[in-house]
Amino acid sequence: MSRILVVGVGNPLMGDDGLGIRVVEELKRRRLPKNVTVMDGGTGSFDLVNYFFFYDVVVIVDAVNFGGKPGRVYRLPVERVLKRKIASIHDLDIFYAISAMSAIQAMPRVILIGAEVKNLAEFSEMSSEAEEAVKKVVKRIVKLVTPSSGRRARIRRTRVQRLKPAPT
C-alpha cells in the first residue's frame, strides 16, 4: 500500500492564499485511509521537502496564479510545474525546493493540486471562488486517496504508451 502525504501550503492571512490550509482543515475532519497523512505546511518550503522522502506519493495543495479563471482547479505532476518554471506565490517556493532536492536524491511522485487565486490582500477573507474551490479540491483528494474496491489506491501511475508492432 502506497504511503501518501497531502500537504496544504499557504498563508491564511493573505486571502485566497489560505486555500491549501483550509483544504487540510477539511481533510482532517474526514475519515481517510490509514496510509494517508495530512499536514499543514504553512509557508514552508525546504523544511517540508525533508518529509517527502518518507512517502511514496506527495500531493501538494496550494493557491496558484497561472492566469486562469479564479477558482479553477488544476492537477499537475510537479515535473510539468518545474518545466514551465511556474512559481508558487510564496517568497521561497516549494517547487524550487523540490527541484533542488531532486538533484541530490530521488524524490517520490509529487502532484500539485492548485486553485487559481483572485484575492491576495493582507488580512482579507477568501473569495467565494476560492471557497468553492476548497470543496472541489477536497472531493478530488478524497477520491484520489480512497481505495477503489478495497484493493488498490486510486493514484494511478503515468499511462504507458502502447507500442505499435514494428513493420515486418
94-149 pLDDT, tens digit each = 666 777 677 677 778 889 899 999 988 888 899 999 999 999 999 999 999 987 64
Give the distance, in angstroms, between the CA of residue 153 and the centroid of all CA atoms in the same chain.
17
What are the grid coordinates assigned to 58, written together?
506527495
Q: Is the pLDDT of residue 9 over 80?
A: yes
Q: Is 84 helix (H, G, I), strand (E, B) or coil?
A: helix
- Name the residue ranges covered by the structural domains of the chain: 4-145
Q: Give Cα 5 to chain centroid, integer Å.
A: 10
Mean pLDDT of 65-76: 90
**Please, which pLDDT band fits residue 26 given cuts at 50, 70 and 90?**
very high
- Please give the average per-residue pLDDT across 54-73, as a whole number: 91
Hey, what CATH class is 4-145 in?
Answer: alpha beta
Which grid cell sits at 126?
A: 477568501
Q: Is-contact 131 138, C-beta < 8 A?
A: no
